[in-house]
Structure 1
């Protein structure tokens, strides 16, 4: 199961959203703190300004009345609040300390009694009376305000812009990853557009050059193999004709057998060199396997017992020519190196379909499994003269990958060799299943 967080875009998106959320939260908290401090500084400056204005008023125009909320109180009056600050909350206590710092030395600063309009009582050593002025109440910042709305709007636009940038950044990498996957399966790879940052453009350019060089090398090798194999077919046909005209039956049979082996090798060369797409009609794998196995039992002399376990169902489809070549090569390989019974099995899984062919021979040594599918490699050189070119498993691997599948070769349960081929649902030929939709 694919996890979105496992992709480059998923991780970039998660990183971008986390960074933006952290930065916006920090900015919002800092703004609220700064606004609270700004309110406190403004209240202190306003109180200091009012107290200084009252002093100047008393000194210059003592006969003029004061504003209604500003008054002078005699120090002996019982209305003077106590000097204790034990009941004051910390913000108010800091406010009083800030006001005291703005006043002359030894100035007394007190706040009015609770429950009444907030007032500030100030008396400097030079003041005859207490100066009482109104102050702004120190309100706590509201938990939700218009800033939160703007913050959400800005955050949403920032996330959308960042996700678009992350998508644009990972898109060339996704195209390159798809091209690498196609190249690994042996499928044709068109040039990948060179986009994105400089390092990514350099990587894409190097990959395109590598694909071109590999394709050129494969083409040269295929042309050489096809040319040699094609040129050998005519002499081999003449050689077989002349061999069949020999009088000595023993010699004739030996020469014909050798010519047949050489002809089989030439046909393997041609099949391996063929690099075109299979355009044959898709067929049901289960039914075709049954037909091929039945035909193989009838025409192959000394063929081992071949059993079938076909459980994939009619929706498992592969091109007919590709399937025939896969089955013939693997059955020939099991006939040459394995032991009966040979089992051809299909199955349906949650990811797709599987096709496997296994025998009960000695299998392949663990150190030789990695070389089993390499072209022109024969793990049993002593049998190379029996028409075996070392291309059988290499041809099967190429055909499976060209059909969009994956293969696995190994010994199963210590009883012989098994070739397991897996074909995901998305790579199978799209054929209209009228019968399935009708019922």
Structure 2
């Protein structure tokens, strides 16, 4: 199961959201703290200004009345509040800040709770307590309008950051898809060179590598196809002359050798062919049954071939590709394996499988990797007549070109098995390619 967090976009998105959330939370906490401190400083400035104004008023115009909420209280009055030792931290900081702004030995108290907030101040030179109103010190609310704006800003920031992350990882995703296609032997169009400088350089190098590999592969295929094509005419003349020989034993030997050489040439041509298969898709189960039936009828000394076809009519492959796969693998099982040979298909949760297995000795574990390499023959005894070491290489190329994967190995110690897997998503592409060809 694919996890979104494993992708580059998923990790970038998680990182971006985490960083934005942390930065917005820190900004919100700092803003709340700064607002609280600003409110306290404003209240202190206002209170000290009012106290100084009352002192100047008393000193200059004692006969003039004071504002309604400002008053002078005799120290002996019972209304004077007692010094409180247990005040809330914000109020305690407020009182300390006011005391710091006043002359030394100034008494600063706050009015009793429950009434309008009042500040009581008396310096050593004051005859009475000066009582002035103060701004109420409200604690910042846990949820206010700032939270709404913060959520809106955070949402837009996340969307913009996710778009930037998507734009950054998109060229890398295209490059990863191209690398996967190149690894499976499929045609790879040039990847657009986008993104940061390092990614553009990487994409440019990949495009150059693909072009060089394609040019080398094309030159090799052209040379191989040319040599094989040029050999077909001399082989045909050689076979015609062999048929005219009088000595039957010599004639049969020469004809047999010519047929072996002709088969090798045909394998060369098939391996060199690099075009897309435009043949009509057919049901794999039905075609396997037809191929096995014709194989039994034509090859009298062939080993017993069984079928276990359980994929159903939805499993489609191009007819030419399927015929070449089956013929190469059944011939390979006939030449190197032992009966019975089993052709099986199945449907899995991921797609369809096609397998051909025999009951021979199989292939040594250390030789499985090189078994499908072109022109590799694992030992001289497995060569026989008319074999060039291209059979498994051709099958691998055909399977990958059809969008599938293959696996070669020994099954249960009873012989060699070639297992080919075709995901569901490659089947519509096969049908579409066929329709476009018409």
- Tell me what 1:404 maps to: 403
> Cα distance, 1:433 vs. partner?
13
> Cα distance, 1:434 vs. partner?
19
Please give the secondary structure, in 1, of the residue aligned with 2:151.
helix
Q: Is the 8 A contact 2:333 2:341 kept in 1?
A: yes
Distance 1:120 1:437 in 2: 90
Q: Is the 8 A contact 2:309 2:344 kept in 1?
A: yes
* Residues 329-386 of structure 1: CA deviation (Å, up to 9, x unaligned): 0001111111111111101111110001111111111111110111000112233241
Unpaired segments of 5 or more residues in structure 2? none
Distance 1:111 1:26 in 2: 34
Distance 2:139 2:279 in 1: 79
Please give the secondary structure, in 2, of the residue aligned with 1:430.
helix
> Cα distance, 1:432 vs. partner?
8.4
Please give the secondary structure, in 2, of the residue aligned with 1:431.
helix
Distance 1:333-1:277 versus aligned 2 partners, 3 A rule: same
Distance 1:432-1:360 versus aligned 2 partners, 3 A rule: closer
Distance 1:148 1:169 in 2: 31
* Residues 82-132 of structure 1: CA deviation (Å, up to 9, x unaligned): 11x333222111111111111111111111111111111111111111111
* Residues 213-272 of structure 1: CA deviation (Å, up to 9, x unaligned): 000000011011101111111111111122222222222221111111111110000000
| 1:320 pairs with 2:319 | yes
Please give the secondary structure, in 2, of the residue aligned with 1:170.
helix
- Tell me what 2:352 maps to: 353
Of 337-346 and 429-438, deviating more is: 429-438
Q: Is the 8 A contact 1:405 1:423 kept in 2?
A: yes
Distance 1:43 1:228 in 2: 99
Distance 1:46 1:302 in 2: 112
Distance 1:411 1:263 in 2: 31
Distance 1:184-1:434 versus aligned 2 partners, 3 A rule: closer
Of 162-171 and 424-433, deviating more is: 424-433
> Cα distance, 1:301 vs. partner?
3.6
* Residues 396-423 of structure 1: CA deviation (Å, up to 9, x unaligned): 0000000000111111111111111010
Q: CA RMSD in A?
A: 2.9
Q: Is the 8 A contact 2:281 2:431 kept in 1?
A: no
How many corresponding residue pairs? Answer: 438
* Residues 17-68 of structure 1: CA deviation (Å, up to 9, x unaligned): 1211111111111111110111111111111111111111111111111111
Distance 1:383-1:254 versus aligned 2 partners, 3 A rule: farther
Q: Is the 8 A contact 1:261 1:385 kept in 2?
A: no
> Cα distance, 1:144 vs. partner?
2.1
- Tell me what 1:82 maps to: 82
Unpaired segments of 5 or more residues in structure 1? none
* Residues 289-325 of structure 1: CA deviation (Å, up to 9, x unaligned): 0000111111124211111110000000000000000
> Cα distance, 1:143 vs. partner?
2.1
Q: Is the 8 A contact 1:282 1:429 kept in 2?
A: no
Distance 1:301-1:260 versus aligned 2 partners, 3 A rule: farther
> Cα distance, 1:15 vs. partner?
1.5
Distance 1:237 1:438 in 2: 33
Of 175-184 and 214-223, deviating more is: 175-184
Distance 2:372 2:337 in 1: 16
Please give the secondary structure, in 2, of the residue aligned with 1:66.
coil
Distance 1:366 1:434 in 2: 38
Q: Is the 8 A contact 2:278 2:434 kept in 1?
A: no
Distance 1:200 1:190 in 2: 17
Q: Is the 8 A contact 1:317 1:429 kept in 2?
A: no
> Cα distance, 1:393 vs. partner?
0.4
> Cα distance, 1:430 vs. partner?
5.6
Q: TM-score, with normalisation over the residues of structure 1?
A: 0.96
Q: Is the 8 A contact 1:318 1:429 kept in 2?
A: no
Q: Is the 8 A contact 1:361 1:416 kept in 2?
A: yes
Q: Is the 8 A contact 2:181 2:188 kept in 1?
A: yes
Q: Is the 8 A contact 2:303 2:340 kept in 1?
A: yes
> Cα distance, 1:5 vs. partner?
2.4
Of 388-397 and 133-142, deviating more is: 133-142
Distance 1:164-1:436 versus aligned 2 partners, 3 A rule: closer
Distance 1:398-1:247 versus aligned 2 partners, 3 A rule: same
Distance 1:237-1:210 versus aligned 2 partners, 3 A rule: same
Distance 1:275-1:183 versus aligned 2 partners, 3 A rule: same
Q: Deviation above 3 Å: which 4+ runs of structure 1?
A: 429-439
